[in-house]
């Protein structure tokens, strides 16, 4: 499940659409483990996008490849940094060349739904369960996929897009 907060502090102009410029989401997993995910997209600030997992035995800085144990231990990923986008392409091409099966569909689907779950929580101001997100009938897709089709959300007569309001916005 997820609960969180977000808003628009800087991105308030007509040209900023309807998205928040910052989010902070707390995900709670079935075993009680918590992961905090944050992002901030504002000029002249630290625009961090990262996740931190808090468990019974310590804290993991996912993006920083660092685990700090409650027993005082520190673990750092000691291999050379690899760009994850390049790595996924390298793995895919290696699988094609060798004839091995390669499918990231499950990871992609879970990752995408996790992001959607967090967005639902911050836009609505509610705690949202995995099941609520998965079974939601909220549809943000265009009516049809055609270059000439209108977008699913249009600005009002003054050129402003509707902005989510926690406590009022339907999230799922």
Average pLDDT over residues 155-163: 93
pLDDT value at residue 134: 93
pLDDT value at residue 89: 95
Confidence of residue 4 (pLDDT cuts 50, 70, 90): very high
Residue 97 has pLDDT above 90, yes or no: yes
Q: pTM of the full predicted structure?
A: 0.82
How far apart CA 102 and CA 92 sit, in angstroms, is 7
Per residue in 64-80, pLDDT (tens digit) is 889 999 999 999 988 88
Lookup result for tokens 């939601």:
136
- Residue 91 has a CB neighbour count (10 Å cut-off) of 13
The three state secondary structure string of 86-142 is HHHHHHHHHHHHHCCCCCCHHHHHHHHHHHHHHHHHHHHCCCECHHHHHCCCCCCCC
Residue 127 has pLDDT above 90, yes or no: yes
Percentage above 90 pLDDT, the chain: 65
How far apart CA 120 and CA 25 sit, in angstroms, is 10
- Burial class of residue 2 in the structure, from the number of CB atoms within 10 Å of its CB (0-12 exposed, 13-18 middle, 19+ buried): buried
C-alpha triplet 104, 86, 46: angle, nearest 5°: 100
Structure tokens at 48: 């961090």
Percentage above 70 pLDDT, the chain: 100
For the chain, the average pLDDT equals 91
Residue 28 has pLDDT above 90, yes or no: yes
How far apart CA 12 and CA 18 sit, in angstroms, is 9
- Answer for the pair 96, 105: CB distance below 8 angstroms, yes or no: no
Helical (H) or strand (E) element with 51: strand 49-55
Confidence of residue 17 (pLDDT cuts 50, 70, 90): confident
């Amino acid at each position: 499940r997820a609960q969180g907060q977000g808003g628009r502090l800087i991105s308030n102009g007509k040209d900023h659409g309807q998205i928040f410029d910052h989010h902070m989401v707390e995900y709670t997993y079935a075993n009680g483990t918590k992961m905090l995910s944050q992002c901030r997209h504002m000029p002249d600030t630290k625009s961090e996008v990262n996740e931190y997992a808090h468990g019974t035995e310590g804290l993991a800085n996912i993006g920083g490849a660092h685990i700090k144990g409650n027993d005082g231990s520190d673990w750092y990923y000691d291999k050379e940094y690899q760009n994850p986008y390049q790595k996924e392409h390298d793995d895919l091409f290696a699988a094609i060349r060798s004839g091995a099966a390669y499918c990231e569909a499950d990871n992609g689907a879970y990752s995408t739904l996790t992001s959607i779950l967090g967005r639902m929580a911050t836009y609505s101001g509610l705690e949202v369960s995995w099941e609520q997100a998965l079974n939601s009938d909220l549809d943000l897709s265009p009516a049809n996929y055609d270059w000439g089709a209108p977008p699913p959300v249009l600005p009002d007569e003054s050129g402003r897009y509707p902005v989510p309001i926690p406590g009022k916005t339907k999230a799922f």
